[in-house]
Structure 1
Amino acid sequence: MKKFLLVILSLMMSMSIFAAEAPDVFVKKIANEVFEILKTDKDLRSGNKEKAYKITEEKILPYFNFDRISKLVLGKAYPSATKEEQEAFKKEFRTMLVKTYGSALLRFKDQTLNYKPARFEPTDEEVLIKTEVLQPGAPPLPIDYMLEKDGNSWKVFDIIIEGVSLVTNYRGQFGNEIRQNGIASLITKLAEKNANYDKTANK
């Protein structure tokens, strides 16, 4: 009886593992949906920034783990920050990414996405999914996603573009400001940048 229960338990665990959406399927589903919108939405193709921000907010960033990303970006400064500072940073950092990636979406016209073969085990909790954006008349742009398992789905905790990690890049930028002036100053400067982004982005 004991062995029978162990077998049943093992089968149930295996079923729950494979019930989770495969990470490469997850990335393809989200990316294909966004690329289809980029190809067909007239507002986006005419350069509507507010529409691009809305698409980024609704179709891309919900699949990011901002708690983990914030901790990784702030590094040693995160645990020493107050709860209010942590939440304020996450809010401004998220807004910055909405504007940055939303603006980037407007530059996508006739690109397509190529998915590299994914290597992972069903029990992996973290997976690297490699893709590349194929651009007419230009070299492919490699974009890799670091994913972590989140129940029966996945969330992104880092993006690597042309070998440069989003987390590492911003950790370096923000770290200098934190060391010189503190995290409160960083939050203030991010808020100011976000408020003035549309006025200065094209200058």
Structure 2
Amino acid sequence: MRYLFSLLLLLTLSFTATASDVPDPFTSVQKTTDRLLAKLVEVQPLYEKDPKAFYKEIRTSLEPFIDFDGFARGVMAKYYRLATEEQKQKFAETFQTELIQTYSKALVEFDNQKIEVLPLEEPPKDGRATVQVNVYGKDGTVYPVVYSLVLVEGEWKLRNIVINGINIGLQFRSQFQNYMQKYRNNIDDVIANWNVDV
């Protein structure tokens, strides 16, 4: 599940539009998928020769598309109010680094699998849209994915993702809560031991 989540999120993290001519979410998702797959072909040789350079390339591609601070804030949920500014910043940085490395490893394993973006079942409404995608595994298994998108300043951006019925946003939040219990509400210990476990 970790590999599948990482791969899918990598391929559809942001859906760019312009304020004057906003494309439909389907087109945005399709173009973004094509763009990121092309990036994979370009940088994959770096993975074995220079992993740090590979991670840097992926980070550069992803940073404009993910609100890591907002993502981390949502994961911390109610505990965000209890954290110091330093802890908030540290967790956001730790969260970002862990995600980038997990995503990068997933990219290497992609190996030209098929991704099918399905036509919209319902038109966008109030700046929100849902796009369904089928991802085909190496063995032919079809994994249904649902993207929840929101239009922000002319750009379609990922707000949440459901993979095979599993709500990823809620998974991360639950993981943070479990870590808080495990480490007896010590946020510093949670940050020190955090890893993406999906």
Name the TM-score class by shorter chain. Answer: 0.7 to 0.9
Question: What CA deviation, in whole Å up to 9, does each residue of 1:25-79 have, x standing for no partner?
Answer: 2222221111123345550686864454234312234212323322321111112
Change (3 A) 1:126 1:71: farther
Report the counterpart of residue 125 of structure 1 in structure 2: 127
Gaps of 5+ in 2: 1-17
State the AA in 1 paired with 2:86. E
State the secondary structure of the residue aligned to 1:138: coil
Instruction: Give the one of 61, 65, 77 matched to 1:63.
Output: 65
Report the counterpart of residue 32 of structure 2 in structure 1: 30
Q: Shift in Å at residue 98 of structure 1?
A: 0.2
Report the counterpart of residue 169 of structure 1 in structure 2: 171
Deviates more, 1:67-76 or 1:42-51: 42-51
State the secondary structure of the residue aligned to 2:141: strand
State the AA in 2 paired with 1:101. Y
State the secondary structure of the residue aligned to 1:131: strand
Q: Does 1:181 align with 2:178?
A: no
Distance 2:20 2:120 in 1: 16
**If each structure's helix is expressed as a fraction of its own residues, which one has the higher value?**
1
Q: Does 1:83 align with 2:85?
A: yes
Structure with bigger gyration radius: 1
State the AA in 1 paired with 2:166. V
Question: What CA deviation, in whole Å up to 9, does each residue of 1:72-124 have, x standing for no partner?
Answer: 21111112222222221111101110011111111111212101222454543
Gaps of 5+ in 1: 1-15, 195-203
TM-score, length basis structure 2:
0.75
State the secondary structure of the residue aligned to 2:119: coil
Say what the alpha-carbon RMSD is for the aligned residues: 2.8
State the secondary structure of the residue aligned to 1:149: strand
Report the counterpart of residue 53 of structure 1 in structure 2: 55
State the AA in 2 paired with 1:65. D
Question: What CA deviation, in whole Å up to 9, does each residue of 1:129-149 have, x standing for no partner?
Answer: 221222343302233322222
Change (3 A) 1:125 1:43: same
Distance 2:141 2:189 in 1: 39
